[in-house]
Amino acid sequence: MKTFLLLALFLSFDLLAFDPCSYPSTVEFNEELKSQGIAAIKTSRNPKRFRFVEKQMIHLTVSLQDWLNGISRVEALDLFVEGSSDGEIAYFELNGKEVALVHYWPGDNEYGAFFEMNNSAFRLMAEIRDSEIVCL
């Protein structure tokens, strides 16, 4: 019985290890991924090649910022890739699920969101505000 409890406890910690909500900021999240040898399975940076679902995630991500609430999808895409924003979508395989990190830098700090992917559908998991992860 002790073995079973230890195994269950170990697996539960392992499953929580890569939950973005377990980290206060993207710096700590990225450092943990790097220390575990986990890299993005793919990235998307070219605005001409963004898929429809990626454009939807970008629009939602940018409009999460209070001062950009109600922004059009075209304006959101422009903000995501313009100038020093260098927006990107990084996909990770975490805990058997595909997680998309949609992030950009409209100033010195990172803004964005984490999404759990399910084929062409997505669910918002957490926001990134001033490089801090804010869970929902």
Q: Are 80 and 87 in contact (CB under 8 A)?
A: yes
Predicted local distance difference test score (pLDDT) of residue 17: 53
Rounded Cα distance, 128 and 136, in Å: 11
- 102: domain range? 2-135
pTM of the model: 0.84
What one-character-per-residue DSSP string does 40-86 give? Answer: -SEEE--GGG--HHHHHHHHHHHHTSGGGTT--HHHHHHHHHSTT--
List, for residues 17-45, the tens digit of each pLDDT value: 578 999 999 999 999 999 999 999 999 99
**Number of folded domains that form the chain:** 1
List, for residues 42-61, the tens digit of each pLDDT value: 999 999 999 999 999 999 99
Q: Is the pLDDT of residue 10 over 70?
A: no
Q: Are 22 and 135 in contact (CB under 8 A)?
A: no
